[in-house]
Amino acid sequence: MPDIENKPCYDLHSHSTSSDGELSPTALIDYAHEKGVDVLALTDHDNTAGIAEARAQADKLGMSLINGVEVSSIWNKRLVHIVGLNFDIDNEPFQIGLANLREQREERGERIGQRLEKLGISGALAGARAFSNGQILSRTHFARFLVASGAVKNPNEAFKKYLGDGKPACVTSEWASMEQTVEWIKNAGGHAVIAHPARYKLSATRLRLFIEDFIECGGQGFEVVSGSQDAAENRKMADYALRYELYASKGSDYHGPNQPWLSMGKMPDLPAVCTPIWSLWENSTSS
């Protein structure tokens, strides 16, 4: 049913050139503003360096910016993404932890480069670095290099052929445990959210285990509406949020204009039965 109330438009998951997004923090804020987003969280992978620039631009445009980050974490030996929202970005233990993860990314990058070298693709590490803006090194940057060098046609093929889980250039890394990630976020005064829960393709039993462990760690939020989930998945995720009394979040996971199917400001509303995660900070700051 169309919503006729003039509610603010939230997008609590997005990326800039401070991780693997294509737009600078300023350009990302301009874009979000143009698309009608009122409250944006910049959630770069393992990095909060873009937030100051984004905040300056958001202030200029009268937009609200929420501190965010998407932390590479391990649950049950696999990589999962935990989004932190509305935390103190100057919190030292958290920043030390994130710096560590960025170092892990450098090491992993070297090993990805070696794997690709063995597969007959040379210069991948330097090539990926050239795409990375010197901030964090991501598989996305390797994918961009593989496209640019003609090894694959598009980033998706780069993940399917080389970089995705279990593929020949996929190497594991020492990410933070989910427990550690949630502790960092909470101790910095923020809220932890399971990012794009449907993307892990877990069975119902394993998804329940994941959620139960997350709650045990102190996690509170669940990305019910995500740009990397379809409408049916969003609905399913809303059921999990309700069942486990998790606060619901919503985010496009926007990475830039190279994902032409994904736009900001067009995400469906959270189902009315969900409790939005922003009620946590809006209630606490308005009283």
Q: Is 81 in the site for Mn ion (CB under 5 A)?
A: yes
Q: Using H for helix, E for strand and C for coil, what is the string for 126-149?
A: HHHHHHCCCCCCCHHHHHHHHHHC
Q: Is 20 in the site for Mn ion (CB under 5 A)?
A: yes
**Closest distance between Mn ion and the C-beta of residue 62, in Å?**
26
Interacting positions 225-284 with ligand AMP (CB under 6 A) = 255
**Closest distance between Mn ion and the C-beta of residue 19, in Å?**
6
Q: Is 139 in the site for ligand AMP (CB under 6 A)?
A: yes
**Closest distance between Mn ion and the C-beta of residue 157, in Å?**
17
Near ligand AMP by CB under 6 A: residue from 133, 138, 220, 234: 138
**Closest distance between Mn ion and the C-beta of residue 255, in Å?**
6
Task: Tell me how crowded residue 197 is: count the other CB atoms within 10 A of its CB.
Answer: 25
| Residue whose CB is less far from ligand AMP, 45 or 191 | 45
Among 31-39, 64-72, 161-169, 258-266, the segment contacting Mn ion (CB under 5 A): 64-72
For the chain, state the CA radius of gyration: 18
Interface with ligand AMP (CB under 6 A): 20, 45, 72, 138-140, 143, 155-156, 159, 255
